[in-house]
Amino acid sequence: MQNKYTDWKQALRSGLLGGIIVVVLSLIGIVAAFENTYVVNQLVSFGEILILGPVAALSLSAIRKATSRQAGFLILTAAISGLASGLVILALAGVGQVINLRAMFLNASEELYAIYAYKQALVPGLLLRLLACIVIGALTAGFTLLPDRIKSALGQGLLYVVFIGLMGRLLTMMLSNWGFVAVLFKWIFTANSLSLVGAIVVFLLTGGLAYWRHGRPKVKRSLEPRKQKVIRWSMLGGVGLILIFLPNILGLWFSEILDNVGLFILMGLGLNIVVGFAGLLDLGYVAFYAIGAYTIGVLTSPELGFFNWTFWQAFPVALLMAFFAGVLLGLPILKMRGDYLAIVTLGFGEIIRILVLSDWLKPWLGGTQGIQRIQRPVIGFGGYARTLESQQELYYLILVGIVIVAFIAIRLRDSRLGRTWMALREDEDVAVAMGINHVTTKLTAFAMGALFSGIGGTLFAAKIGSIYPSSFQFLVSINILSLIIVGGMGSIPGVFVGALALIGLPELLREFAEYRYLFYGAALVAMMLIKPEGLWPEARHRIELHEEETPPPEEEAATATENA
């Protein structure tokens, strides 16, 4: 490629691509949606970052591909790339003035052009935008010319400012309960975001920290095993204590989100066994979730009136149902591999949903109207009985469920069975040749996964009290799959990280919620391309990958600026 195109053409190409990315983001509506989500109050909005971010990122790529390392040349290249991006953005605004793009693209509105033009009159505003694109390109080039230490400090500082700025509203909401801290932070946070002072403080702190840490060897404290154990257990105890008081600290709204995250962690732990440990890509995972929830519904709901059991009577039956459904689905598809398995499980999930929706089974499953008035779980005996109804009370039920399931998952991973799963995942033929019975091994993986998903389903039914077929769409399977992959396939802490990032964040940042699945899709592709081992990879996986390659230090700074 380099021989064919001169560097200028390369820069133009990068710039055009950057511009096209911005235009696509704008037309999807993300730019306008984040117009008023400020990172730094009234100064820098996240929408603005979404415009200038891709421009900067593609300028960076133009610089990387440049053949000469001269400072002036690099700055010029990057500026050209920025100019090209800016021209594409201008072209959209220009075309929008002549033709009514709105008839086709919903988001090609006057507001978008106003954002492009910095809310100024169109012509001078757009010229300003062009200038901004060129400047940001040149700045990117300047950035790459800095010494590594300053580069990483700047990158980290910017990244943290953006992140904390986005989280600003949540932090203030959380902190508002704690009087004295709230006062302390008043001058860092405005109502929604960082204040200018706050941004500078955060930037200096995090950037300074990165500057100080850069180049220092990581201090490895080797404590004796007993002390390590004490530290580990006390940390676990601390986390446990925090988790117990979390709903009271955070209040009702956060508890609801915590419940959702918890349910997805539960199911993620189950799917992690199937996909992460055993390497069987199951896209119909929602089916077991539905089976668990519907069993509880059918058995306890007085509306249908078949059984009128209590929650705890129905609970073991629901788990058994999910377990056997796992075995039943597992049986026929044992011989399949990879992609076929994915499609068949997907089909299975759809079959379950179609059956639930159908008029045929309506007398038993309620059809489109679903099942209402599902019994809530009751805890305690006699006079001390207590129905768990509020989200804060159910939180504890889910927490107990997660602890049990996580414990089982960890023990399974380290058991003989867990190792056979992983052997099967790495190479089925070799594993079978080594004497592993692939029938029982795969079946147990499927059944355990189904069981965990069933637990998730029962708790979901208990949580919302009424279930509808629309809660069991294919999208749920994709949700769970995404969180596993983002967290790291086969990694148990990864499930927690993934669930917090993919389920928690979009719930917290309402603007994101709209673009949730767009983001999931992009995350799946990006993770596979850039970091296939996930955010918190399994220890063994991490070692394997680090043997092969150690990422060069520039890479980190590059991703930092791309994100900023």
Q: Could you give the CA distance from residue 220 to residue 227 in angstroms, rounded to a whole number?
A: 15
Kindly state the tokens that stand for 480. Answer: 């769970």
Per-residue binder mask for another protein (CB under 8 A), 283-312, x = binder? x-----------------------------
Closest CA to 420 of 402, 441, 399, 405: 441
Count of residues that bind another protein according to CB under 8 A: 56
Q: Closer CB to another protein, residue 16 or residue 171?
A: 16
The CB-of-441 to another protein minimum distance in angstroms stands at: 13
The answer to whether residue 551 forms part of the interface with another protein (CB under 8 A) is no
The CB-of-439 to another protein minimum distance in angstroms stands at: 6
Q: Tell me which H or E stretch contains 39.
A: strand 38-40
Answer whether 32's CB lies under 8 Å from 112's CB: yes
Determine the interface stretch with another protein among 65-73, 99-107, 153-161, 222-230 (rule: CB under 8 A). Answer: 99-107
The answer to whether residue 535 forms part of the interface with another protein (CB under 8 A) is no
The answer to whether residue 518 forms part of the interface with another protein (CB under 8 A) is yes
Q: Which long-range contacts (CB under 8 A, 24 or more apart) does 41-48 make?
A: 41/190, 41/192, 41/193, 41/194, 41/195, 41/196, 43/196, 44/165, 46/162, 46/165, 46/166, 47/115, 48/115
Q: Could you give the CA distance from residue 420 to residue 432 in angstroms, rounded to a whole number?
A: 10
Could you say which residues in the range 12-71 bind another protein, by CB under 8 A?
Answer: 24, 27-30
Q: Quick one: which of 204, 355, 410, 434 contacts another protein (CB under 8 A)?
A: 355
The answer to whether residue 98 forms part of the interface with another protein (CB under 8 A) is no
The CB-of-519 to another protein minimum distance in angstroms stands at: 8
DSSP percent split of the chain into helix, strand, coil, nearest 5 = 75, 0, 25
Q: How many CB atoms lie within 10 A of CB 119?
A: 10
The answer to whether residue 359 forms part of the interface with another protein (CB under 8 A) is yes
The CB-of-386 to another protein minimum distance in angstroms stands at: 41
Q: Could you give the CA distance from residue 10 to residue 341 in angstroms, rounded to a whole number?
A: 42
Q: Which conformational region is residue 435 in: left (phi greater than 0), alpha (psi within -120 to 50 degrees), or beta?
A: left
Q: What angle do CA 507, 261, 299 make, to 5 degrees?
A: 115
The CB-of-452 to another protein minimum distance in angstroms stands at: 21
Q: Using CA atoms in the order 290, 295, 296, 300, what is the torsion angle rounded to 10 degrees?
A: 140
Q: Quick one: which of 118, 309, 396, 474 contacts another protein (CB under 8 A)?
A: 474
Kindly state the tokens that stand for 371. Answer: 């099942």
Kindly state the tokens that stand for 436. Answer: 């592993």
Q: Closer CB to another protein, residue 333 or residue 432?
A: 333
Q: Quick one: which of 342, 447, 495, 499 contacts another protein (CB under 8 A)?
A: 342
State phi, psi for 467 to the nearest 5 degrees. Answer: -120, 145
The answer to whether residue 522 forms part of the interface with another protein (CB under 8 A) is yes
Q: What is the 3-state secondary structure (H, E, C) of 211-244?
A: HHHCCCCCCCCCCCHHHHHHHHHHHHHHHHHHHH
Q: Closer CB to another protein, residue 41 or residue 477?
A: 477
Alpha helices per DSSP H over 99-195? 110-116, 122-145, 148-175, 179-185
Residue at 156: amino acid letter: Q
Q: Closer CB to another protein, residue 407 or residue 517?
A: 517
Q: Quick one: which of 374, 485, 495, 505 contacts another protein (CB under 8 A)?
A: 485
Q: Could you give the CA distance from residue 471 to residue 174 in angstroms, rounded to a whole number?
A: 30
Q: Tell me which H or E stretch contains 457.
A: helix 438-464
The CB-of-344 to another protein minimum distance in angstroms stands at: 5
Could you say which residues in the range 309-338 bind another protein, by CB under 8 A?
Answer: 331-338
The CB-of-2 to another protein minimum distance in angstroms stands at: 17
Q: Could you give the CA distance from residue 321 to residue 69 in angstroms, rounded to a whole number?
A: 65
Q: Quick one: which of 16, 200, 243, 344 contacts another protein (CB under 8 A)?
A: 344
Answer whether 9's CB lies under 8 Å from 65's CB: no
Q: Quick one: which of 68, 204, 517, 540 contacts another protein (CB under 8 A)?
A: 517
Q: Closer CB to another protein, residue 63 or residue 287?
A: 287
The CB-of-523 to another protein minimum distance in angstroms stands at: 7
The CB-of-291 to another protein minimum distance in angstroms stands at: 16
Answer whether 443's CB lies under 8 Å from 330's CB: yes
Q: Quick one: which of 15, 247, 279, 487 contacts another protein (CB under 8 A)?
A: 279
Mapping DSSP to helix (H, G, I), strand (E, B) and coil, where does residue 44 land?
Answer: strand
Determine the interface stretch with another protein among 90-98, 173-181, 248-256, 275-283 (rule: CB under 8 A). Answer: 275-283
The answer to whether residue 346 forms part of the interface with another protein (CB under 8 A) is yes
The CB-of-251 to another protein minimum distance in angstroms stands at: 31
- Contact residues: another protein, CB under 8 A: 24, 27-30, 103-107, 279, 281, 283, 331-340, 342-344, 346-348, 350-351, 354-355, 357-360, 439, 474, 478, 481-482, 485, 515, 517-518, 520-526, 528-529, 532
